[in-house]
Structure 1
């Protein structure tokens, strides 16, 4: 089994928005998708991950596009607690919304601890300030 991870890489794009490639694996399944967003959206996501959870029902959700084909892609990264004793997970789902044999999609969960999600938030905020190297996060490193 491979190691679980989430990775973000800024791709060259001449605009105020960033073109970002996200890839992830839970050790069994993996996926990759590029998308466009503003750096302040990623910084806000990092801040939300850093202070997660605020309650037992809290979730942090980053979602772009949809699966109906109205967008060029779908990206979902969602952190949540999956039981009453505080065990956490990150849901990762992407869909390239391509036609026919070029279509690809994946959806899976990465089990992790709250402290590792908080660490992801800290790493993400630092990466937004200096995105020259890819960010690679592991759920087992805090």
Structure 2
């Protein structure tokens, strides 16, 4: 169904948290073509403040590879996580 979404959130946008992360995969067309939305905020001040928002169109199979990669990623062992949506 086109209105279905898979969402991961960490933290909150309000003042209670020092950070916020949203990763959301959703359909943009009835044929299954999908997109990935990412929002990341570090609520520091001055040069310590960071806020990013982006959306990437992708095929569902590629988003599945992204999710499977995140499930097996161990950040303490490997600092960088790389996903190439068109591979």
Give the TM-score normalised by the residue count of structure 1: 0.53
Moved over 3 A (4+): none
Corresponding residue of 1:6: none
- Residue 97 (structure 1) aligned to one of 30, 40, 43: 43
Say which structure is richer in helix.
1
Residue 70 of structure 1, CA deviation:
1.2
State the partner residue of 1:66.
12
Residue ranges of structure 2 left out of the alignment (5+ in a row)? none
The alignment's TM-score, normalised by the length of structure 2, stands at 0.81
Q: Which runs of 5+ in 1 are unaligned?
A: 1-54
The DSSP-based 3-state class of the residue aligned with 2:3 is coil
For 1:107, what is the secondary structure of its paired residue?
strand
Counterpart contact for 1:92–1:109, Cα < 8 Å: yes
For the 8 Å contact 1:67–1:97, the answer to whether it is kept is no
Give the SS at the match of 1:80.
strand
Q: Which residue of 2 aligns with 1:139?
A: 85
* Counterpart position of 1:24: none
Distance in 2, matches of 1:102 and 1:127, equals 26
